[in-house]
Chains A and B, each alone.
Chain A
Amino acid sequence: MATIIWTTIGAILTLSVYSFLYKDNPFYKFAEHLVVGISAGYYLVIYYFNFIQPNVVAPVFLLRIGNEAIGLGSSMWWLALIPGILGLLLYTRFFPKFGWVGRWSLGIYVGGYAGLGLSPIMQARVLNQIGANALPLTSITNVFLIVGLLGTLTYFFFSMKHKGVLGVLARVGIVFLMVGFGASFGYTVMSRVSLLIGRVSFLLHDWLHLI
């Protein structure tokens, strides 16, 4: 019984969102604002119990990192406090006078993530792709791949005017880009349609049990 009621609530909300297709209305607005609150609350609780509690609170108050218990006698126990303190510093922005202190944490955060990404991006997105495209000129497909990549890179090359050979390559690049975007277009349409099918299936199958 409880399940039927909950599913019906889900179905009514689904229909409220679809009412937007007719025009904007209070039902849609209600659902829209409701989901902002619900999701923020849900995320907060999940963040707390999945991360803050086991990885931040537990190491500080229960004094352990991972499975390694670290007693007060351990020389490194204070290290466990640092991330929590840095995290709390972010909240100084709500006190205009001390707002700048939060930038210390932000600096570590922004810099750290920027540094982490450098090499993997270079390897995964640049070097490996270049290597994979250094193909032997033995098949039409390989020639297409090489010319296509060359054209695309030329199209996004801004330090010279697109004239002569560069102009021709850039034109080739555009053709490849457009066919590539065509594939994205087709797939994106497919994606959106799948989402609709999923919702219709929810209404007809899970809620009304018609199919």
Chain B
Amino acid sequence: MRRQFPLALCFIAGLFMAVQYFIPHPTVQDMYERLLIWLQTLLAFAFLLGTVSLVRVHYHKIRHRADDRGYSLVTLLALCLMIGLGFFHSAHHAQGSPFDRMFQNVQVPIEATMFSLLAFYVASAAFRAFRARTLESTLLLVAACIVMLGRVPIGDMIHSSIPVATRWILEVPNLAAKRGIMIGVGLGMMATSLKIILGIERAWMGGGD
């Protein structure tokens, strides 16, 4: 029951989902429809599980008086605030409600800005770390510079051949290379899925008995 049963369920669910693709019969397709809803539900519950874990981590930090417990408190209070606004405010998530305002004016700016930091880091790395030390990295950097120029309006102005070269890079060498990677990664994904279904790969079960 502890190890074999979940493996069997995994095998049955996986096999059914794989095989139904080839069977248009309604009996199979009706079951398939139902199972799709189950999978969605499980994903939703698994997500909520993540929230519970988050609360546990920060609660422990506060209880054990970790150095940065003040920040953990910020996280937990923010979480409670959002849940409060979402569940107990009259118009819980319509546009313009406090719940939506918090999202649009707190979450959106912070997340959007975090990734824009990378523009600065790319620039500094461009100066200090991107080196054409080998034939490979030289090719890479030259192609990169052509594409960078070819995709901005000023590239068209400098020379009309730059956008043409950019297009060629994207549609020929880039296409061939990415197609190769796509096939390789696709095969890897399928092999992993197969091993999961067959119970060879069982990391998802975690440790213990």
Contact = CB atoms under 8 A, between A and B. Distances in A.
What does DSSP make chain B's interface, helix, strand, loop or mixed?
Answer: helix
A199 B113 contact: yes
Interface string B101-124: 111111111111111111110100
In the A-B complex, the 8 residue pairs with the closest CB atoms: A41-B82, A182-B143, A148-B176, A152-B180, A37-B78, A115-B17, A45-B86, A180-B177
B12 interface: yes
A49 B92 contact: yes
Given A40-B51, A115-B15, 18 more contacts: A17-B114, A29-B71, A34-B106, A35-B106, A35-B110, A41-B81, A46-B93, A49-B86, A91-B49, A94-B52, A110-B14, A111-B12, A111-B197, A153-B184, A173-B177, A179-B174, A180-B173, A190-B152
B119 A192 contact: yes
B109 A11 contact: yes
B80 A41 contact: yes
A126 B186 contact: yes
Interface stretch (A2-10, A67-75, A159-167): A2-10
Interface in A196-211: 196, 198-199, 202
A84 B41 contact: yes
Nearest to B206: A103
B52 A176 contact: no
A39 B82 CA distance: 8
Interface of A: 6-7, 9-11, 13-14, 16-18, 20-21, 29-49, 51-52, 55-56, 79, 82-84, 86-88, 90-91, 93-94, 99-100, 103-122, 124-126, 129-130, 132-133, 141, 144-145, 147-149, 151-153, 155-156, 173-190, 192-193, 195-196, 198-199, 202
Interface string B1-42: 110011111111111111001100000000000110111111
Nearest to B32: A116
B143 A6 contact: no
Most buried by A among B8, B83, B169, B173: B173
A175 B177 CA distance: 9
Contact of A115 (B103, B116, B193): B193
B110 A9 contact: no
B14 A9 contact: no
Contacts of A179: 139-140, 143, 169, 173-174, 177
What does DSSP make chain A's interface, helix, strand, loop or mixed?
Answer: helix
Contacts of B6: 100, 103-104, 106-107
B66 interface: no
A115 B16 contact: yes
B103 A42 contact: yes
Contacts of A30: 71, 74
Nearest to B180: A152
Contacts of B14: 110-112, 114-115
Nearest to B102: A38
B56 to A, nearest CB: 8
A14 B143 contact: no
B176 A180 contact: yes
A199 B140 contact: no
Given A41-B82, A45-B83, A133 B179 contact: yes
B189 interface: yes
